Amino acid sequence: MGVAGCAGLFQDSNGRWLKGYAQKIGACDALHAEMWG
């Protein structure tokens, strides 16, 4: 178990950035971190 976080962004059909997000998940394994991100 380690400390994890996730992040991503939303783009329109032209590739322009619309919105981004980031969140601290806390202690979890790699499988759960992938499911969040």
In the prediction, which pLDDT does 18 show? 96
In the prediction, which pLDDT does 24 show? 87
Q: What is the pLDDT along the chain (37 residues), one digit of tens a residue?
A: 788 888 899 999 999 999 999 988 888 888 887 887 6
Q: What pTM does this model have?
A: 0.52
Among 26, 19, 20, residue whose Cα is nearest residue 7? 20
In the prediction, which pLDDT does 37 show? 64
Per DSSP, what are the bridge partners of residue 8? 21
